[in-house]
């Protein structure tokens, strides 16, 4: 396979369970080159979840259809980001000192706070998906095709903008030295994918909704992801002295839920 395509495959293999049949080198350089394609991975996950959700909603009431969509969503990510969400909850909600919080994140065991945070997050996402599916195909499509794109773009920004918390680096250390150009390309790709998603939403659902809420949502989504993501990353970085791989996953999960909530506010 040509070297040019390997960063794309690395992005999909690293962030998803899509079948990528290639032996890839997960050393720092290839991983850094793959970051610009993270929004593309988010778009693919969103499209798969949307199709599953719409098909399930055709056969089932909104709530079980939302559960089906959420199960696929978690499976496609391999639970990678949920693991980061739980580890971050265990550490940050322990109110320990910096070193102890970093030790808690490294521990493979999940504590009570992590379990509670995971259950509450999944309940929130399930309820939001059910509300969007109840509101119609277009609101569900707009939200599900947008949230995974901008949450993964912000992960790329976080890798560039905030320092790595651990001296050894850990997973986050593999991305040390990420270039601003890669983040900018990722942002441009996210914008193009967002524009394409609006057309895909119309094509998949056969129609849209009022112009004002539609335009408002597509403008507000990236701005909200940037604003809230920056606020949360700043607070976490001030406590840990930087960010970790677990925090990256935590940011993705939190921003996905936030953007689904934004869609509910605009469309439901």
pLDDT tens string 101-146: 999 998 888 889 999 999 999 999 999 999 999 998 888 999 999 9
For the residues 200-215, what does the mean pLDDT come to? 68
For the residues 185-202, what does the mean pLDDT come to? 87
Note the pTM of the prediction, 2 decimals. Answer: 0.92
Mean pLDDT of all residues belonging to the chain: 89
Residue whose C-alpha is closest to residue 14's, from 28, 36, 31, 2 = 31
Q: For 79-91, what is each residue's pLDDT tens digit?
A: 999 999 999 999 9
177 — pLDDT class (breaks 50, 70, 90):
confident
pLDDT given for residue 67 in this prediction:
97
pLDDT given for residue 1 in this prediction:
45
Q: Which residue has the tokens 């930087």?
A: 242
7 — pLDDT class (breaks 50, 70, 90):
confident
pLDDT given for residue 213 in this prediction:
75
Q: For 217-241, what is each residue's pLDDT tens digit?
A: 999 999 999 999 999 999 999 999 9
204 — pLDDT class (breaks 50, 70, 90):
low
């Amino acid at each position: 396979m040509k070297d040019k395509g390997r960063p794309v495959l690395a992005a999909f293999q690293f962030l998803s369970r899509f079948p990528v049949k290639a032996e890839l080198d997960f050393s720092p350089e290839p991983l850094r080159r793959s970051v610009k394609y993270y929004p593309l991975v988010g778009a693919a996950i969103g499209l798969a979840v949307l199709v599953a959700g719409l098909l399930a909603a055709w056969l089932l009431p909104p709530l079980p259809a939302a559960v089906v969509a959420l199960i696929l969503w978690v499976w496609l990510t391999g639970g990678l980001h949920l693991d980061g969400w739980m580890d971050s909850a265990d550490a940050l909600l322990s109110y320990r000192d910096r070193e102890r919080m970093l030790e808690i994140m490294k521990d493979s065991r999940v504590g009570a706070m992590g379990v509670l945070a995971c259950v509450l997050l999944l309940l929130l996402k399930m309820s939001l998906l059910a509300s969007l599916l109840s509101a119609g195909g277009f609101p569900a499509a707009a939200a599900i095709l947008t949230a995974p794109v901008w949450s993964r773009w912000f992960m790329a920004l976080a890798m560039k903008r905030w320092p790595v918390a651990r001296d050894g680096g850990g997973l986050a250390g593999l991305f040390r030295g990420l270039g601003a150009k890669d983040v900018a390309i990722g942002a441009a790709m996210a914008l193009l994918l967002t524009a394409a998603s609006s057309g895909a939403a119309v094509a998949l659902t056969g129609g849209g909704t009022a112009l004002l809420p539609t335009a408002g949502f597509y403008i507000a989504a990236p701005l909200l992801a940037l604003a809230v993501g920056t606020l949360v990353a700043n607070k976490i970085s001030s406590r840990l002295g930087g960010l970790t791989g677990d925090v990256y996953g935590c940011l993705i999960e939190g921003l996905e839920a936030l953007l689904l909530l934004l869609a509910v506010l605009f469309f439901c």
